Amino acid sequence: MSADTLRVALLQEVERGSRDANLDAIEAGLREAAAAGARLVLLQELHNGPYFCQHECVDEFDRAETIPGPSTDRIGALAEELKLVVVASLFERRAAGLYHNTAVVFDRSRAIAGRYRKMHIPDDPAFYEKFYFTPGDLGFEPIATSVGKLGVLVCWDQWYPEAARLMALAGAELLLYPTAIGWDPADTDAEKARQREAWVTVQRGHAVANGLPLLSCNRTGFEASPDRGNGLQFWGTSFVAGAQGEFLGQASTDQRELLLVDIDMKRSEHVRRIWPFLRDRRIDAYDDLLRRFRD
């Protein structure tokens, strides 16, 4: 393998019923990824348990933990043992009444290399995240690691080109999205197809617009609603796109899977030379981006 080639792994998983069972599955996945030569592993959003945001219930806050805490201790120890860069995703208890949806990065060490707190928080049927998560306050800052500067964002951030652009402008070399997104089982097949294709397409657009590889790791499997709703069928489809939006690898919609992909880390330089989008940005004409809407 070339020195410029980075082997990455995306661990697309199902909910296993408890924090310990989920962390056991993550440990098995990290060991499998390391044995296959991966140097960077991306985990799915809120991987320690079910996607509890299908309803609003104060008891769900019991799932939150401090960072550092038990989960970061375990994942960090594995990152150090297996010499992996790992991007994890946790329900962070910052203080009583103050919680975040937080991505945590380990760089071949049990020490935390950096963290990102989800900035865009949805509040939609079966995705009631505003009840649980305070919007992030760490900005759009890439996290420096041994495999490059990681532009880590989380799920709903995927729909916002501004987030990807700001990470790119700050020097990110990869865009990474831990994700939990799925269908309402009551939707028609046509609507399901539109939603999934929109999700894939918008992220491929971020890769193209910024000339960067992009990794998106989603959960899979059906998770029942705690309050007799329809539940969510998570659509998997974890994927890696290259700097021109090309698919480098894609997982299934409905199976636990370790997706392994090799990325040419020199390709962004070539792509940005032939498509110099950063050069041609009209930064003198974008003031209205700071407005909510032009009435």
Alpha-helical segments (H) within 4-69: 19-35
Query: Mutual orientation of helices 189-210 and 161-169 as an angle, nearest 10°?
Result: 20
Q: Is 32 a catalytic residue?
A: no
Active-site entry in 13, 15, 45, 129: 45
Residue 7: name the closest of 174, 256, 164, 155 by CA.
174
Strands (DSSP E) found in 108-242: 112-117, 123-124, 127-128, 143-145, 148-152, 174-179, 182-183, 214-218, 220-223, 232-235, 239-241
Residues 6+ apart with CB under 8 A from 274: none
Q: Is 269 a catalytic residue?
A: no
Half-sphere exposure of 24 (CA within 13 A, CB side): 7
Residue 177, SS3 per DSSP: strand
Active-site entry in 155, 173, 217, 223: 155
Q: What are phi and psi of 158, to 5 degrees?
A: -60, -25
CATH of 5-279, one of 3.40.920.10, 3.40.50.300, 1.10.240.10, 3.60.110.10: 3.60.110.10
Q: Cα-Cα-Cα-Cα dihedral of 16, 128, 159, 172, to 10°?
A: -60
Task: For the chain, 295 residues long, give each residue's pLDDT as a single digit of tens.
Answer: 788 999 999 999 999 999 999 999 999 999 999 999 999 999 999 999 999 999 999 999 999 999 999 999 999 999 999 999 999 999 999 999 999 999 999 999 999 999 999 999 999 999 999 999 999 999 999 999 999 999 999 999 999 999 999 999 999 999 999 999 999 999 999 999 999 999 999 999 999 999 999 999 999 999 999 988 899 999 999 999 999 999 999 999 999 999 999 999 999 999 999 999 999 999 999 999 999 999 8
User: Is residue 129 within 8 Å of 57, Cβ to Cβ?
Assistant: no
Can you give the pTM of this predicted structure?
A: 0.97
Active-site entry in 13, 15, 60, 118: 118
Residue 164: name the closest of 215, 92, 89 by CA.
215
